[in-house]
Amino acid sequence: MTWKKFSGEVLHAPILAEVEQIIEKEYQLGNRLKVCIGTDSQVKGKVIDFATVIVFLREKKGGFMFISQERCTQKMGIKQRMLAEVQKSIDCAYALCPLLDLYQIGLEVHADINTSPNFKSNAALREAMGYILGMGFVFKAKPEAFASSYCANKMVQ
């Protein structure tokens, strides 16, 4: 999986090494961090574009993110696609968890799923919430899920 910065610069080291480097740099600058991970997708004809983001929030000093994009040609219904987004976010969070725990950095997993039953994505809410909480992560859904709903969304439009 290839990761890049928002600027488009490709990260060449493994994502764990890049994240640890960023954490150490931010700590040296005196910044406290929180990490939010989210995924969004967009159907474009017979292709589904996915974008997963790792958002680093500096306490009272803005933030930045790393992005990974994938394409899929498998046909999926809305519920399956929402759960695929959640799976990608959980995979990323699970990989980073030991590192974030070591540095005592808070982690949230954001799902691009609407809490209102008036929206199609709501069909996956219970399963997504159960899966994320069951894995021991903090769960956020729309409208609080900015990592998936805004950051990742910008990368698949």
Give residue-wise pLDDT tens across range 4-21. 999 999 999 999 999 999
b/e burial code for range 18-31 (CB count within 10 A of at least 16 → b): bbbebbeebeeeeb
What percentage of residues in the chain have a pLDDT greater than 90? 91
pLDDT at residue 157 greater than cutoff 90 = no
pLDDT at 83: 95
Q: Are 125 and 119 in contact (CB under 8 A)?
A: no
Average pLDDT in the chain: 95
Give residue-wise pLDDT tens across range 91-116. 999 999 999 999 999 999 999 998 98
Give the start-to-end residue ranges of the domains of the chain: 4-156
Angle at 59 between CA 58 and CA 61, to 5 degrees: 65
Location of structure tokens 């017979």: 46
Give residue-wise pLDDT tens across range 36-51. 999 999 999 999 999 9
Location of structure tokens 């609080």: 144
CA 7/CA 57 separation, integer angstroms: 17
If one looks up domain 4-156 in CATH, what number appears?
3.30.420
Q: Against a cut of 0.85, is the pTM above it? A: yes
Starting at the edge strand found earlier in the chain, the sheet holding 33-44 runs 4-5, 63-72, 47-58, 33-44, 106-114, 138-142
